């Protein structure tokens, strides 16, 4: 038997650190974002991560401003009160909204922050497998359209 005991890694950000989504919208935890999006590990400082999430919240909430006002007029004070549908114990619209915010924040970080890699070969392999900023931005747009209840593709005949 070995005398070594494995300990789980410490969170990259202090526990409970979050960006407030607003009165209607949920909050985004920094460690939840780091775990979900797997971008930068602990190499991205908290202030930069907060700035990217704030920008993403502004983008998503701006796109959903009229939709939110309609829900408030219907008497829904919170996004989580709009629909009873759930996914894994969380309201489905909350899951979709968080997906949109995290996707836009990830796209921003990918465009402006490079992960530190020990070798060039490792960086090349990671780049081949990792989603691009365009992938995250597309996922954010899709999540917004899911909330709005509109199709993801617009086609016009010329």
Encode pLDDT of 28-75 as tens digits. 999 899 888 887 777 888 999 999 999 999 999 999 999 999 999 999
Establish if 91 belongs to a structural domain: yes
Instruction: Report yes or no on 13 lying in a domain.
Output: no
Q: Measuring CA to CA, which residue among 134, 121, 128, 130 is closest to residue 41?
A: 130
Q: What is the pLDDT of residue 27?
A: 96
Closest to 56 measured CA to CA, from 98, 15, 87:
98
Q: Which domain holds residue 32?
A: 18-148
Q: Has residue 108 been placed in a domain?
A: yes
Q: Assign residue 75 a region: left if phi > 0, alpha if psi is -120 to 50, beta otherwise?
A: left
What's the number of domains the chain is made of? 1
Q: Is residue 50 part of a domain?
A: yes
> Among 51-65, 68-82, 89-103, 124-138, which is the least confidently predicted range?
124-138
Residue 8 lies in a domain: no
The answer as to whether 136 is a domain residue is yes
Q: Is the pLDDT of residue 143 over 60?
A: yes
Beta bridge partners of 28: 19
Q: Is the pLDDT of residue 87 over 60?
A: yes
Q: What is the mean pLDDT of the chain?
A: 81
Tokens standing for residue 154: 């617009």
Distance CA 148, CA 146 (A): 5
Residue 136 has pLDDT above 60, yes or no: yes
Query: Angle formed by the axes of helices 46-63 and 30-37, to 10°?
Result: 80
In a domain, 75, yes or no: yes
- Asked if the structure places residue 11 within a domain, the reply is no
């Amino acid at each position: 038997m070995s005398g070594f005991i494995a300990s789980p890694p410490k969170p990259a950000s202090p526990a409970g650190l979050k960006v407030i989504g607003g009165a209607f919208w949920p909050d985004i935890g920094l460690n939840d974002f780091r775990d979900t999006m797997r971008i930068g590990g602990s190499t991205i400082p908290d202030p930069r991560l907060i700035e990217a999430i704030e920008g993403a919240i502004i983008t998503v909430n701006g796109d959903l401003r009229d939709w939110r006002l309609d829900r408030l007029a219907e008497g829904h004070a919170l996004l989580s009160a709009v629909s009873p549908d759930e996914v894994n114990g969380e309201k489905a619209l909350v899951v979709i909204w968080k997906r949109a915010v995290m996707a836009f924040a990830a796209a921003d970080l990918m465009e402006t922050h490079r992960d530190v890699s020990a070798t060039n070969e490792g960086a090349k392999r990671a780049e081949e497998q990792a989603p691009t900023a365009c992938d995250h931005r597309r996922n954010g747009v899709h999540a917004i359209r899911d909330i709005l209840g509109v199709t993801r593709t617009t086609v016009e005949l010329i």
